[in-house]
Amino acid sequence: MKWLQGIILFLLFVSLVTAHEHQVFKIGNKTYSFVIGSLNEPVVVEDKSGIDLRVKEVKNQSGNLSEIPMEGLEKSLKVEVIAGNERQEWSIQAVYGSPGSYKNTIYFSKAIPIAYHLFGSIESVPFDVTFECNMEGMNHGDSDNNSVKIAERVTRLSKSGSFGCPKDQEKFVFPEKNSYQYWFNAIALAGLILSILALRKH
């Protein structure tokens, strides 16, 4: 039990350096750390984003906790991206030069709650878990250290942090909101005036 508590405290400390959600699972007879969120947080509508996933096995070696990056999961895991009533399945791609890290690229078109549904297997153990964004944005304060049985051989040991949902561009435009729309309208109006003048000449 002390070893388990040590793992949770160790991984909660590690998770504080990220703006993602952090969950610890016992899968089969092993313990794994999952850090998940979106690329380029905060996520802004029509900007480049997508799933950002890091998976490591947690080991206790002579009383010292260590994390070993899990490689090759792009072959056994997939992600279903959920946005409202819409769903689309994506593969995950291993990040070159960063063992245990995976991603894909998505341009979200709406400011809407999203979820990443990971499914497949981890070392031959079936894994099926959904991670939902937080409408209030990234949050390091919330944590839940209660064990939750997910499946026959999968138990969530802890959960902390969160990742934000996509937000409208207007909240991040500077110095003037909708400036791009203003110039588009101005150009359209100028074109209309020139057309009218041309017709009058004829």
Mean pLDDT of the chain: 83
- Tell me the C-alpha distance between 81 and 115, whole Å: 6
15 half-sphere exposure, CB direction, 13 A CA radius: 31
In sequence order, what are the beta bridge partners of 118?
Answer: 79, 129
Q: Where are the alpha helices (DSSP H) in the chain?
A: 2-15, 179-201
- Show the tokens assigned to 105: 């690229």
Indicate the domain borders of the chain: 2-167, 170-202
- Percentage of the chain with pLDDT > 70? 72
Least confident of 66-80, 103-117, 156-170: 156-170
Taking 70 as the threshold, does the pLDDT of residue 48 lie above it?
yes
Q: Report the pLDDT value the prediction gives residue 15, as an integer from 0 to 100.
A: 43
Task: Classify the C-alpha dihedral 185-187-193-199 as positive or negative.
Answer: negative
For residue 145, CA distances in Å to 48, 122, 173 come to 33, 22, 39
pLDDT, mean of residues 19-48: 92
Q: What is the 8-class DSSP label of residue 186?
A: H
Question: Of the candidates 136, 137, 150, 161, which has an alpha carbon nearest to the alpha carbon of residue 54?
Answer: 161
- Chain centroid to Cα 89, Å, comes to 15
* Strand ranges, E, within 62-146: 64-69, 77-83, 86-91, 93-94, 101-103, 106-107, 114-122, 125-132, 143-144
pLDDT at 10 over 90: no
- List, for residues 178-202, the tens digit of each pLDDT value: 555 555 555 666 666 666 666 666 5
| 3-class secondary structure, 58 | strand
State in words which class domain 2-167 has: mainly beta
- Residue 17's pLDDT is 43
